Amino acid sequence: MFGIIWKSLRNRWLTAMLAVIGIAMSVALIMTVEKVRHDTRTSFTQTLSGTDLVVGARSGAIQLLLYSVFRIGNATNNISWDSVNDIAARPKVDWVVPLSLGDSHRGFRVLGTSQSYFTHYAYGSGRRLALADGAVFDDVFDAVIGSEVARKLGYTLGQQIVVAHGTGSVGLVKHDKQPFRVSGILAPTGTPVDQTVHVSLEGIEAMHVDWQSGMKAPGPGTSAEEIRKMDLQPREVTALLVGLKSRGTVFSEQRAINTYRAEPLLAILPGVALQELWSLVGVAESALLIVSGFVVLAGLVNLMSVLFAGLNERRREMAILRASGASPRHVFFMLSGESVLLTVMGVLLGVGLHYMVIAVGSVWAQAEFGIGLNVSLPGEGEWLILAAIFVAGLCAGLLPAWRAYSQSLSDGMMQRL
């Protein structure tokens, strides 16, 4: 029976191949959407690890998470340095990492922070930041750049960079009087760290020395040597990463910071805020899966139409098989077998196409969005999708098979004018 099915498909190789390609593209699309959805969620979840609280000016939890961790958007207000010292001095607080945002370099966000950032910031399963080359900044005008910044801009150690005011891809006002020097390049992390230029908090203050009321003052500006002698203690920062001595005190410390009397602050648990974020984007995820499902359905309908369209042309073939001793049951199983074989070929080709897309697109996704797409064996959800497509392909062939089953020998042998 398999030999007959294979020879029959070879005689109609063009239409059969079109059906296989339609199923393959459907399978590749829905598997790629599921893979991107899963790996995107994993990449976002693993962006920050080991941080108990993220503190910022009172706004929304998702907004605070986005601008402090993912460098998306801007803060509504800042945190005074007195508040930073008060939080750091709390008995249950182990460490704090101040973050200062608001500037950029050629489309990459500039983050002002302290040495503790490189000690306590962790991602994935508690992995720490590591330098691929150079050293952490020890001068006011040193900068440590992420791996993607170095790769895209072709930067090396010792190169001077000019930071621009604001976060647009093209800075309108540049801090060209106080250029920074690349002192270190971080190893790839697959997080927004790769696309960030890190400078010290004192460096943030230094490049704004000649600014008044948010505008650059006219004149030659203050020299770098004069700036190094100044008191560059920051007056405020954008956000804080907080680590506690005991995870069991996280809710009491969160409540204490949220009710802080000196200024309105918001402390969030990164994991809880991430769940809120995914609850918002869950609608988009569902929409993508629904669209992909309809594409798969279209591929199966195409398979059914190919089998139906071939029935009229194959009436004589069916009649000859019947006359040769094949029962209607054999004809039914032959048509069903063709559907199964086309579906299996389409699924295998689609899986191969899916892995090709992931292998090629992972580099682009990592470079553009910091999303790590890993080429791996199908997960439980993907196996369920493939099984569902296989069953649907089998069902798609039942109706044409039933019609062939019900055709009579005399109907197949009739000469139609």
The pLDDT value recorded for residue 220 is: 64
Task: Determine whether 391 is exposed, middle or buried from the number of CB atoms within 10 Å of its CB (0-12, 13-18, 19+).
Answer: exposed
pLDDT at 215 over 80: no
Same domain, 253 and 298: no
Whether residues 136 and 24 share a domain: the answer is no
Range in 68-77, 207-216, 292-301, 356-365 with the lowest mean pLDDT: 207-216
> What pLDDT, in 10s, does the model give residues 256-296?
999 999 999 999 999 888 888 877 777 777 777 787 778 77
Q: Give the lowest-confidence range in 152-156, 165-169, 221-225.
A: 165-169
Q: Which band of pLDDT confidence, cut at 50, 70 and 90, is reported for residue 179?
A: confident
Q: Are 70 and 180 in a shared domain?
A: yes
- The structural domain count of the chain equals 2
Same domain? For 226 and 316 the reply is no
Structural domain of 82: 53-268
Q: Report the candidate in 19, 1, 17, 6 with the shortest Cα–Cα distance to residue 308.
A: 19
Provide CB contacts within 8 A for 158, sequence distance 6+. Answer: 181, 182
37 and 63 inside one domain? no
127-128 and 122-123 beta bridge pairing:
antiparallel
Q: Give the pLDDT confidence score for residue 218 in this predicted structure.
A: 61
The answer to whether residues 37 and 69 belong to one domain is no
> Angle at which helices 270-313 and 315-323 pack, to 10 degrees?
70
Distance from the first to the final alpha carbon of the chain: 32
Domain boundary (268, 293, 321) is at 268
Name residues whose C-beta falls within 8 Å of residue 416's C-beta, 6 or more positions apart in sequence. none
Boundary-marking domain end, from 215, 244, 268: 268
> Per the domain annotation, does 276 fall within a domain?
no
Tell me which residue of 279, 331, 256 sits closest to 87, measured CA to CA: 256
What was the pLDDT predicted at 206? 86
Among the residue ranges 155-169, 198-212, 387-401, the one predicted with the least confidence is: 387-401
Does residue 417 lie within any of the structural domains? no
Assess whether 68 and 14 both reside in one domain.
no
d(CA 18, CA 399): 20
300 falls within a domain: yes
Assess whether 101 and 186 both reside in one domain. Answer: yes
Nearest Cα residue to 141 out of 174, 170, 171, 163:
163
Q: Both 124 and 209 in a single domain?
A: yes
179 shares a domain with 112: yes
Q: Does 174 have pLDDT greater than 90?
A: no
Task: For residue 406, tell me if it sits in a domain.
Answer: yes
Residue 415 binned pLDDT confidence (cut-offs 50, 70, 90):
very low
164, 175 contact by CB (below 8 A): yes
**pTM of the full structure:** 0.72
Separation between Cα atoms, residue 210 and residue 216, nearest integer Å: 6
Residue 218 shares a structural domain with residue 299: no
Tell me the HSE value of 213 on the side-chain side, using a 13 A CA sphere. Answer: 1
Q: How far is CA 205 from the centre of its chain?
A: 33
* 396 found inside a domain: yes
Mean pLDDT of the chain: 81
Choose one of 268, 296, 321: the last residue of a domain. 268
Determine, yes or no, domain membership for 277. Answer: no
Domain assignment present for 291 = yes
Determine, yes or no, domain membership for 273. no
pLDDT tens for residues 231-245? 888 999 999 999 999
247, 382: one domain? no
C-alpha 357/C-alpha 156 separation (Å) is 32
Mean pLDDT value of segment 41-65: 88
Question: What is the residue type of 228?
Answer: R
